Chains A and B, each alone.
Chain A
Amino acid sequence: MSVLDAGAALPRRRPDILPALTPLAVALVAAPFIGSPSTFVTLTAAGLAMGMMIFTMASGLTLVFGMMDVLNFGHGAFIALGAYAATLVLLPLASWSSADSLPLNLAAFVLAVVVAALVCGVFGWVFERLIVKPVYGQHLKQILATIGGSIIAEQLLYAVFGPAQIPLNVPKTFEGSFVIGQAAIEKYRLVATCVGLLVFAAEMLILNRTRIGLLIRAGVENREMVEALGYRVDRLFVAVFMAGSALAGLGGAMMALYRGQVHATIGGEFLVLCFIVIIIGGLGSVGGSFVASILVALIANYAGFLVPKLALVSNILAMVAVLLWRPRGLYPVSGR
């Protein structure tokens, strides 16, 4: 047994499941305090949906950071742009989304979020070329340049769409809620959760099971080596940046629908949340940001119910607690 077998595969790295269990632990701790099971189910479902939407936005940010070592302060602008792009699709299609038919509703919804993602992907390309490209490798300038980019982008959004809030309704089929026992779960939250899970599954599949994913992961670990092997890492960079922006747009569109209105301030608001999430998750880690999103959203929801005053700083407290436990986040990425 103890004799080394040269032919045996390397021992598999033991998966680190402890951080992944934190949302569960939080739910278990909070449950007795909340008392009523129906309230608990409602709060948890709402937290999961919110977490999935935050994850969609945050995973884009963490991907870009992990791959390109760029902390994109312009990410918020893409969240807002996605919301506006979805509005542009849904307003003309009002007849589809207000019709009492699932296929039409679904078509309008899918079209809206896909267009939001595509538009943000294209603008992400522009943003990368104009704003980020000249300052690769210089953190200070990157932060400043992307902030400048986000100021410009936000002002352009105001110039084009006006400073007023635009109301936005979810398609009719997704309105209202299911009632299970005494717990009410909004339908749209289920939709949001499904979309978030799909995004997570797709990202995991692409990153872990495809050649592109292999190259991206390799690039995260050691960029020079991948370049030395003859791959155009800079092109991969652009692709990842576009994907990150598209994810921001997708998340922004979902969030705008959830809130029922669109305004450019949505960008800054969720950018802060995205930062907290990717810090908690470990900078650059998609799985980490998935866990962290759920964790943050659940804590915010439970705290909002139990101690409303604390809810406002619950994110920060969660971040401090996690960093005291694991200073580099739940799932630290090596080399960062």
Chain B
Amino acid sequence: MNLRAMNLLSGDPPRGRALQAILILVILALAAAPFLFPGAKALNAAAKTCVMILLAASYDLLLGYAGIVSFAHVMFFGVGAYGVGLALYGLGAGWGALGVGLAAAAALSLALALAIGLFSLRVQSIFFAMVTLAVAYAFNVLASQLSWLTGGEDGRSFKVPDVLQPGFRLVEGKVFGVAINGKILTYYLLLVVVAAAFLVLLRVVNSPFGRVLQAIRENPFRAEALGYRTVVHRTLATCISALGATLAGALSALWLRYVGPDTALSFSIQVDVLVMVVVGGMGSLYGAILGAALFVFAESYLQDAMGALSQVAADARLPLLPALFHPDRWLLWLGLAFVLAVYFAPSGIVGALKGSEAKAN
């Protein structure tokens, strides 16, 4: 690989042929998605994959590199989504409003991350897990209750800047059925921003700061003895990761043209991200790409296969199996994969691909 490409990847390219091949496949598929896979469903899946890649990668900075379990990641995602959504809703559909919303969301995320980090990272990481869970839950309830601001459970539908939404005459609330041009533009905006943010994250984890994070993950006591202020490093990691999540949330809101508790703050998104990172591979940002792609693919297409399987089982009059293979139970199988990954493949798919490569050599 030439020097410029190495610089772009911060000297940390994906290792292993199989891994490289799969990553290139995923990235090419995402880059050409609007042309390769026509249809709203496929484009939605591709856009969701992009957003989830950023969300999972920023989460991996925390979970995989710093060894901190946070349940507030979806809260920062929600802050970004609500920031952009409410700004576009309140200030009108302009780039200025988008910028204001994004800046406000980033500021709020930063403040929250700082507060939570300084407050609870002094103690044990386990404590942080519980505190973030409680805070995220409260934030979720708060967002659905402050209906004068957030629209409550119904959320808010809003218009995006003209370029992204050619269907100008559309009445508010009818966000689907928009002319395809605007959507494709939005999709490429998503893709470019996610790619840039991913490269920035890659830069962060390969910086000296990233190395210190890994040292803290391996042995906090020793890192502290070497003179690194673990609380500061961990808090900083929380802040960076929160900003990544905020950006992902903003992109998600931009794509959906809607923001509400279910799409922006639901705890199931947090679980999804956890599954993506663990199955994809903790401690490797490329794992986030694989995890997110696999997850969204499974969510969008595995359900059909499971439905067929469930039907077969039902026809054969097997007990319980139809219920287990019901399309709504797909999370059951991913949960199983998740637990197995935690036990047997802590470095996820990325680790498995690297491992097979190492054996082959």
Chain A residues engaging chain B, CB cutoff 8 angstroms: 71, 131, 134-135, 139-141, 143-145, 147-149, 151-152, 155-156, 158-160, 163, 268, 271-272, 275-276, 279, 283, 309, 312-313, 315-316, 319-320, 323, 327-328
Tell me whether B274 and A144 are in contact (CB under 8 A). yes
In the bound assembly, the distance between CA atoms of A285 and B331 in angstroms comes to: 35
Contacts of A139 in B (CB 8 A): 124-126
In the bound assembly, the distance between CA atoms of A207 and B127 in angstroms comes to: 25
Interface readout for B141-159 with A: 1 if CB under 8 Å, 0 if not?
1100110000000000000
Tell me whether B326 and A159 are in contact (CB under 8 A). yes
From known contacts A140-B69, A316-B138, infer whether A152 and B274 are also in contact, taking CB-CB under 8 Å: no
Interface readout for B327-361 with A: 1 if CB under 8 Å, 0 if not?
01101101110110011001000000000000000
- Name the CB-closest residue of B to A269: B137
Binds A, one of B15-23, B128-136, B206-214: B128-136
In the bound assembly, the distance between CA atoms of A163 and B20 in angstroms comes to: 41
In the assembled complex, 6 residue pairs joining A and B whose CB atoms fall closer than 8 Å, in A order, are A140-B125, A144-B274, A152-B336, A160-B323, A271-B133, A275-B133
What distance in Å separates the Cβ of A296 from its nearest Cβ neighbour in chain B?
Answer: 11
**Contact partner of A159 among B130, B133, B146, B324, CB < 8 A?**
B324
Say yes or no for B47: interface residue by CB 8 A criterion: no
Tell me whether B338 and A151 are in contact (CB under 8 A). yes
Say yes or no for B123: interface residue by CB 8 A criterion: yes
From known contacts A143-B69, A159-B323, infer whether A316 and B134 are also in contact, taking CB-CB under 8 Å: yes
Say yes or no for B271: interface residue by CB 8 A criterion: yes
In the bound assembly, the distance between CA atoms of A135 and B340 in angstroms comes to: 12
In the bound assembly, the distance between CA atoms of A276 and B332 in angstroms comes to: 27
Tell me whether A147 and B271 are in contact (CB under 8 A). yes
Say yes or no for B242: interface residue by CB 8 A criterion: no
Pick the 7 closest A-B CB pairs, nearest first: A151-B335, A155-B332, A148-B339, A159-B323, A148-B338, A152-B335, A275-B130
From known contacts A143-B69, A147-B274, infer whether A71 and B126 are also in contact, taking CB-CB under 8 Å: yes
The B interface is mostly helix, strand or loop, or mixed, namely: helix
Contacts of B129 in A (CB 8 A): 71, 143
In the bound assembly, the distance between CA atoms of A158 and B329 in angstroms comes to: 8
Tell me whether A155 and B335 are in contact (CB under 8 A). yes
In the bound assembly, the distance between CA atoms of A149 and B331 in angstroms comes to: 12
Contacts of B123 in A (CB 8 A): 327-328
In the bound assembly, the distance between CA atoms of A159 and B336 in angstroms comes to: 14
Contacts of A131 in B (CB 8 A): 339
What distance in Å separates the Cβ of A137 from its nearest Cβ neighbour in chain B?
Answer: 12
In the bound assembly, the distance between CA atoms of A71 and B130 in angstroms comes to: 9
What distance in Å separates the Cβ of A141 from its nearest Cβ neighbour in chain B?
Answer: 6
From known contacts A71-B129, A149-B339, infer whether A144 and B271 are also in contact, taking CB-CB under 8 Å: no
**Contact partner of B342 among A141, A268, A271, CB < 8 A?**
A141
Contacts of B334 in A (CB 8 A): 151
Tell me whether A140 and B329 are in contact (CB under 8 A). no
Q: A271-B133, A275-B130 are in contact. List 17 more A-B contacts (CB 8 A).
A: A139-B124, A145-B339, A149-B339, A151-B334, A152-B336, A155-B329, A155-B335, A156-B332, A159-B323, A160-B320, A163-B328, A276-B130, A279-B127, A283-B127, A313-B138, A315-B138, A316-B135
Tell me whether A159 and B329 are in contact (CB under 8 A). yes
Contacts of A279 in B (CB 8 A): 127, 130-131, 134
Contacts of B142 in A (CB 8 A): 312-313
Say yes or no for B61: interface residue by CB 8 A criterion: no
Which of B50-70 touch A at CB < 8 Å? 67, 69
Tell me whether B145 and A309 are in contact (CB under 8 A). yes
From known contacts A276-B134, A279-B127, infer whether A148 and B145 are also in contact, taking CB-CB under 8 Å: no
Tell me whether B126 and A143 are in contact (CB under 8 A). yes
From known contacts A155-B335, A159-B329, A268-B267, infer whether A145 and B130 are also in contact, taking CB-CB under 8 Å: no
Contacts of A135 in B (CB 8 A): 342-343
Tell me whether B320 and A272 are in contact (CB under 8 A). no
Say yes or no for B278: interface residue by CB 8 A criterion: yes
Contacts of A163 in B (CB 8 A): 328
Contacts of B131 in A (CB 8 A): 279, 319
Contacts of A151 in B (CB 8 A): 271, 275, 331-332, 334-335, 338
What distance in Å separates the Cβ of A161 from its nearest Cβ neighbour in chain B?
Answer: 9
Which of B100-122 touch A at CB < 8 Å? 119
From known contacts A140-B125, A152-B335, A155-B332, infer whether A319 and B134 are also in contact, taking CB-CB under 8 Å: yes
Contacts of A145 in B (CB 8 A): 339, 342-343
- Name the CB-closest residue of B to A162: B323
Contacts of B125 in A (CB 8 A): 139-140
Contacts of B326 in A (CB 8 A): 159
In the bound assembly, the distance between CA atoms of A268 and B336 in angstroms comes to: 19
From known contacts A140-B125, A147-B271, A309-B145, infer whether A272 and B134 are also in contact, taking CB-CB under 8 Å: yes
- Name the CB-closest residue of B to A159: B323
In the bound assembly, the distance between CA atoms of A319 and B120 in angstroms comes to: 12
- Name the CB-closest residue of B to A314: B138
In the bound assembly, the distance between CA atoms of A160 and B323 in angstroms comes to: 7
Contacts of B323 in A (CB 8 A): 159-160
What distance in Å separates the Cβ of A126 from its nearest Cβ neighbour in chain B?
Answer: 13
What distance in Å separates the Cβ of A204 from its nearest Cβ neighbour in chain B?
Answer: 25
Which of B210-268 touch A at CB < 8 Å? 267
- Name the CB-closest residue of A to B130: A275
Contacts of B127 in A (CB 8 A): 279, 283
Contacts of A272 in B (CB 8 A): 133-134, 137
In the bound assembly, the distance between CA atoms of A140 and B342 in angstroms comes to: 10
What distance in Å separates the Cβ of A87 from its nearest Cβ neighbour in chain B?
Answer: 17
Tell me whether B134 and A275 are in contact (CB under 8 A). yes
In the bound assembly, the distance between CA atoms of A148 and B272 in angstroms comes to: 11
Contacts of B336 in A (CB 8 A): 148, 152
